[in-house]
Structures are given as structure tokens and as C-alpha cells.
Amino acid sequence: MRQEISAGGVVMFGNAILMLEKFNGEWVLPKGKVETGEKLEEAATREILEEAGVKAEVLKYIGKINYTYEDTWKVKECTDKTVHWFLMKSRSLACVPQREEGFIDAKFIHIDRACEIAKYDDEKGIINKAVNEYTTKDRQDVK
Ligand code: ATP
């Protein structure tokens, strides 16, 4: 089975989380494949910039999720995928969805609503974990 490793972020601004809307209407967290020689957190930071135009900084590692999917339009092949997630923060609400990356909207959405609209249950779990780890100190720290 093919293996794939990606990294992404739960990017906070106050009580809101950065979410992306795909062309098919699904709302997901920003993430992408880790390139050769790249650290997980570098990949997460780069993907968030590429997909949403948001410069985010890493606060801490949250955990990983695992799923398998079948590529139906190319070779019929199964991929075993692991996605590593970081709690991150942005200093601005500005974001620009990158259409060439497959996204039609990018928004900071209130924590409760973000959990409701997130397409995948494992991403809902990651959002909850990130919110629980997001301390008052994380909100206030200015570097
Ligand atoms: P990446 O953003 O890491 O470059 P991608 O856009 O190439 O990835 P995925 O988002 O992993 O690909 O989607 C591949 C398949 O896996 C799709 O069919 C998608 O619906 C499914 N999928 C995506 N995220 C999850 C998830 N969290 N849980 C289960 N299935 C998922």
C-alpha cells in the first residue's frame, strides 16, 4: 500500500479557527504533504501559507490521524495516510483561499461552529484537542 504523510494546523485567532471550503462544499482544516527533508512543522506552516495565505506560528504538536483512501481516477490504489497536526496561531484574520489548491473559501470560524461544519470526525477530534490545549497564555503571548 502507498504511504503518505501530511501535516496541518488548527490555526487560532482568538476564539476562531481557520477553515477552508473545498470546491465540493466540504469544510476542512489546512494541511498538505510533507516534502523530502522538510520538518513536520515546516510543512504545516508552508501549506497554510500556500492554501490560505495565512502566516501562522506553531504553538505545539497536537497529534496525528490516520485514514486510508482509494484513488479511483488514476490507478486503483489504496493509500495509507497519516496527518500530523499542530496547534498554531495567526496574528491576523486576513486570509485568501487559493483556488489553484482547490479551495473556494477560507475563513476564521468560531470554535463551536468550526466543529459543527468540519467534514471529518477525526478533524473534529483534532479541533477539540487543540482548543483544550489552547491556554490563556497562548492567546496573550507576543513574541
Ligand atoms: P493533502 O492535503 O494532504 O495534500 P489531498 O488533498 O491530496 O491531501 P486528502 O485530503 O487526504 O488528499 O483526500 C484524499 C481522500 O481522503 C479523499 O477521498 C478525502 O475525501 C479523504 N479524506 C480526507 N481527509 C480525511 C479524513 N480526515 N478522514 C477520512 N478521510 C479523509
Q: Which amino acid is residue 102, in one-letter code?
A: G
Residue 6: partners with Cβ closer than 8 Å, 6 or more residues away: 31, 32, 33, 34, 43, 47, 81, 82, 83, 84
DSSP state of 34: P
The residue contributing the CA closest to ligand 1 atom 20 is 69
At residue 141 the predicted structure's pLDDT band, cuts being 50, 70 and 90, is low
43-101 pLDDT tens trace: 999 999 999 999 999 999 999 999 999 987 766 789 999 999 999 999 999 999 999 98
The minimum-distance atom of ligand 1 relative to the CA of 83 is 3
CA–centroid distance, residue 82 to ligand 1 (Å): 10
Q: Residue 81's pLDDT is what?
A: 98
Q: Identify the residue whose cell numbers are 491556554.
A: 135
pTM of the model: 0.94
The minimum-distance atom of ligand 1 relative to the CA of 4 is 3
CA–centroid distance, residue 137 to ligand 1 (Å): 33
Is the pLDDT assigned to residue 103 strictly greater than 90? yes
The residue contributing the CA closest to ligand 1 atom 2 is 32
Is the pLDDT assigned to residue 143 strictly greater than 90? no
Q: Tell me which CATH code domain 2-142 carries.
A: 3.90.79.10
- Going from N- to C-terminal start, the domains of the chain cover 2-142
- Measured CA to CA, the distance from residue 21 to residue 65 in angstroms comes to 20
6-52 pLDDT tens trace: 999 999 999 999 999 999 999 999 999 999 999 999 999 999 999 99
